[in-house]
Amino acid sequence: MGKRIVIALGGNALGNNLPEQMKAVKKTAKAIADLVQEGHEVVIVHGNGPQVGMIQQAMQYLVREEPDKHVPFPLSVCVAMSQGYIGYDLQNALREELLDRGIDKGVATVLTQMEVDPDDPAFRHPTKPIGAFMTKEEAQAMMDERDHDFIEDAGRGYRRVVASPRPVSVVEIGTIESLVQTDHIVVCCGGGGIPVFRTTGHHLKGAAAVIDKDFAAEKIAEQLDADVLIILTAVEKVAVHFGTPEQTDLDDLVPETARKYIKDGEFAPGSMLPKIQASVEFVESKPGRTALITLLSKASDGISGKTGTKVHM
């Protein structure tokens, strides 16, 4: 029987610009279509690092060159823009690939908001670099004008940093659930979702934050009652002692062992660590759930148990 699967696709896998993205989505569509053809329900969550950075730089250029005509765009709006144009390419490439295989199935992109907690400690200690590199003088001017936070990045210049809070709830979860139940493939929570928090009444206010797409995928997998969370990365399997002669690939991983490896510093922050953490949270959220970490091209083989790192109870 087919499974309900949530896939977390990295933003870097979509290229760094529009021509690269249009090529990348064709490869991505083939791997996802394999899963659909096998009878699985598929929901796709994607990153947006290069894409949202490009949008921000374009907006900053317009404001700098024509300040009387343009105003700065909030980060939440830039995330929404990236969701739209990445989703546009993904859904069209996937629809085309499915039709080429004789599969007539709807594919839809949902502009998705992710509720965060305004009291999340991450807002007091922003650490996520975004946007272009700046000189010290340019960064200082932005700090004075807009109260942004900046860090110096390894001698390459200064970059803005924002909070990376944990996701609380997917605002459009009912819409996504309805689409899945009516046999649609859904692209959603792009870039981890548009971060928002509740204010007075029913108003949702955009937050200057970036949500990790692996944690966003875990949250939507929980709320959709998915069977499997697939987190795609640049390696076929998770490894310990990575990059050393003692490197060991892991076929299976249980939460207790994962926590030991995390405590020992085996997984790099901002890279493999959130993938492991999200996988553990998902499999512990309900009996019978599993997570898989592997390459895009190995997703189908991973589901059938041939490769990848399976995280389970």
pLDDT digits (tens, 9 = 90+) for 113-152: 999 999 999 998 888 877 667 777 777 777 766 667 777 8
Q: Which one of 213, 219, 237, 310 is the catalytic residue?
A: 213
* Domain boundary assignment for the chain: 4-114+168-311
Q: Which residue has the tokens 């499974």?
A: 3
Q: Are 164 and 211 in contact (CB under 8 A)?
A: yes
Q: Which one of 219, 237, 275, 310 is the catalytic residue?
A: 275
**Measuring CA to CA, which residue among 171, 166, 177 is closest to residue 6?**
177
Annotation: CATH topology of 4-114+168-311: Carbamate kinase (3.40.1160)
Report the SS3 class of residue 25: helix
Q: Which residue has the tokens 């200064």?
A: 158
Q: Are 176 and 109 in contact (CB under 8 A)?
A: no
**Strand pairing class (228-232; 167-170):** unpaired
- Active site includes 263? no
- Active site includes 205? no
C-alpha–C-alpha distance, residues 215 and 87, integer Å: 19
Q: Which one of 48, 53, 87, 128 is the catalytic residue?
A: 128
Q: Is the pTM of this model over 0.85?
A: yes
- Active site includes 260? no
Question: Which positions ≥6 away from 149 have C-beta within 8 Å?
Answer: 126, 143, 160, 161, 162
The whole-number pLDDT of residue 133 equals: 74
239 — phi, psi (to 5°)? -130, 150
The whole-number pLDDT of residue 218 equals: 98
As averages over each run of 10 residues, the pLDDT of the chain (313 residues) reads 91 75 88 94 91 80 82 87 92 96 96 96 85 74 73 77 92 97 96 93 91 96 97 92 92 96 92 94 96 92 92 94
To the nearest 10°, the Cα dihedral for 159, 81, 274, 134? -10
Report the SS3 class of residue 313: coil
